[in-house]
Amino acid sequence: MPQLNPSPWFFIMLLSWLTFSLIIQPKLLSFVPSNSPLDKSTTTMKTTPWTWPWT
């Protein structure tokens, strides 16, 4: 069964992970998000408990 031979697949996996971690990931991490979640105001809304008609 040829799929049990890890020789070509291990090299492909290793090459793809190296490509991702050395080339693609630093480029993606260099972007600054334009809509930061820290910019939002933290307002708390006042909630009232629900009055059930059968209690």
Total residues belonging to the chain = 55
CA distances from 12 to 3, 4, 22, 40, 50 (A): 14, 15, 15, 44, 59
pTM exceeds 0.75, yes or no: no
Give the 3-state DSSP-derived string for the chain, with helices as H, strands as E and coil as C. CHHHCHHHHHHHHHHHHHHHHHHHHHHHHCCCCCCCHHHCCCCCCCCCCCCCCCC
Q: Tens-digit pLDDT profile for the chain (55 aa)?
A: 566 777 788 899 999 999 999 998 888 888 877 766 665 666 777 888 888 887 6
Residue 13 confidence (pLDDT)? 92
